[in-house]
Chains A and B, each alone.
Chain A
Amino acid sequence: MTGTKIEEKLFQNRYLVDAGRPHIKVRAHDKPSEELRALVDICPAGCYTETDKGTVEIVADGCMECGTCRIVTQETGEIEWNYPRGGYGVLFKFG
């Protein structure tokens, strides 16, 4: 069995994306902390990517609202994390 990619896994999920109002933001930075860089590997939805410039950015559309990134970067303050507006975000069919 070859591993399924995260994007393919997320394809099964239901979301109501709040277009133009991402609930997680990465603050502007030149060099990411170790914690922020770890999110590229450990975010279970693969929301974080490293850019060519070595910074870290997020596309939160596939976010499952677990909160891992919030916990990991709490000391560095590099991300701003809120719940999506009521009704938006992931809608678990089974949970």
Chain B
Amino acid sequence: MSLEVFDAIVVGAGPAGNAAAYTLAKSGLKVLQLERGEYSGSKNVQGAILYADALEKLMPDFREDAPLERHIVEQRMWMMDDNSHTGMHYRSDSFNEEKPNRYTIIRSQFDRWFNRRVREAGAVVLCETTVTELLKDTNGRVIGVKTDRHGDSILADVVILAEGVNGLVGQRAGLRQELKPAHVALAVKEMHFLPEEVIAARFNLKGDEGVVIEAMGTITKGMVGTAFLYTNRESISIGIGCMVQDLAENRVSSSALLEEFKAHPSIRSLLEGSEVREYAAHLIPEGGYKAVPQLYGEGWLVVGDAAHFVNAVHREGSNLAMTSGRIAAETVVWLKRRREAFSAENLAEYQKRLEASFVIKDLKKYRGIPALLHRNKHFLDLYPRIASRAAQIWLRVDGVDKRSKEGEIVRDLRAARGWRGLLGDAFKVARAWR
């Protein structure tokens, strides 16, 4: 193998790597994809929601045989305090469409399917192979990789790094800096199995319909984080994530947070009688636009989580991964056809194309949000408590007249934050959101 030269090497077989390798192979390039897991998916963790649009752009027919769980017809956004939740639900029959927009998936199954498509498209996929370093020529140009398979060196014209959040290869080659604890969240997750009809009854679903719950509030104990519950066909994915810096400073175990979330009165009954079959943990790069590293250089490109492409506000990541993987590969194909070198100057086209896509546009839009939450932890703690108290006052019928109730709610708000504080918070959110 060490004598063979590939057009491109893709490091990693998650959504970004698979999208890149698929696009390259489809275009007839000689591609080698390297994955450290037993198979694509065996090291990968996600909630997980699949956003159809990003995958459709690669393979419009994916619904024919992709392992999809449920299409989402209902979104519940919960603000939780210790024993209640308030929130917004949106359910629509228009999500029951011929080509649904979002699905729940189980990543080890989905990635395995995706990677099979990559191989069918003509890429060489080598699993159980960890890339240990990038090979560079004397001018510092990346010319291939070294793996832990007998220390093999493999050469290629260009290397696409889709190595995930712990991007050791790129970091150790000095292509980007180590992640900061304030820029990365640790999420833990469990898979709870229940009979299909029990899930359907508990969540008011028929057929392949599914529900998503995204939750925030006192469940993260004043730290920046969110929790989720997704319905799969015969299992429920449930998890919670907080910024690593917050967890370290407060010495809080995510595992304990998840136990408390599961025991919350709003959640407990949804899981009752379930059988847990897996416990997983994973980091999510949530530093936003300001944490995005250098995206290309002499002979290399970086995509997906390794490039910090996560929109934490909208809980999107895998679609940014697939889209960046596709765009990186399209840039490589474009240069190859023009017989141009994979120099940093030419590969800058990748960034240009990304900037024209939703990937960079959305990250830019929310560039102020990570710092805003970091500095204003009360957003996730105080406001859910206030909302819950207001709902209690408003909904309880107890002989108190409504004007007095309104007065109590207003006094509550003022006592909690003061007019100046409330106005300031509203202003800060508006500014970060625009």
Contacts and interface: CB of A to CB of B under 8 A. Distances in A.
A12 interface: yes
B254 interface: yes
Contact of A44 (B36, B130, B251, B254): B254
Contacts of A84: 36, 130
B255 A44 contact: yes
Contacts of B259: 1, 3-4
A63 to B, nearest CB: 9
Interface in B98-145: 106-109, 111, 127-130
Given A71-B179, A86-B129, A92-B278, A42 B108 contact: no
Contact of A86 (B128, B166, B255): B128
Contacts of A1: 259, 262-263, 268
Interface in A42-95: 42, 44-46, 64-68, 70-72, 74, 82-87, 89-95
Contacts of A71: 178-181, 184, 244, 283
B281 A66 contact: yes
Interface residues of A, number: 38
Nearest to B263: A1
Contacts of B222: none
A13 B45 CA distance: 13
Interface residues of B, number: 59
Contacts of B248: 35, 38, 42, 72
Contacts of B188: 44
Interface string B21-49: 00000000000000011100111111010
A87 B107 contact: no
A55 B254 CA distance: 23
Given A72-B181, A86-B148, A92-B44, A12 B251 contact: no
B69 to A, nearest CB: 11
Contacts, number: 142
A44 B38 contact: no
B252 interface: yes
Interface of A: 1, 3-4, 6, 9-10, 12-13, 16, 35, 38, 41-42, 44-46, 64-68, 70-72, 74, 82-87, 89-95
Interface of B: 36-38, 41-46, 48, 106-109, 111, 127-130, 147-149, 165-166, 168, 178-181, 184, 186, 188, 190-191, 235, 237, 244, 247-249, 251-256, 259-260, 262-263, 268, 276-283
Given A1-B259, A86-B148, A95-B280, 11 more contacts: A4-B259, A6-B253, A9-B276, A10-B279, A35-B248, A45-B281, A64-B45, A64-B282, A72-B181, A87-B128, A95-B278
Closest 6 CB pairs of A and B: A87-B128, A3-B259, A95-B107, A9-B279, A44-B281, A67-B166
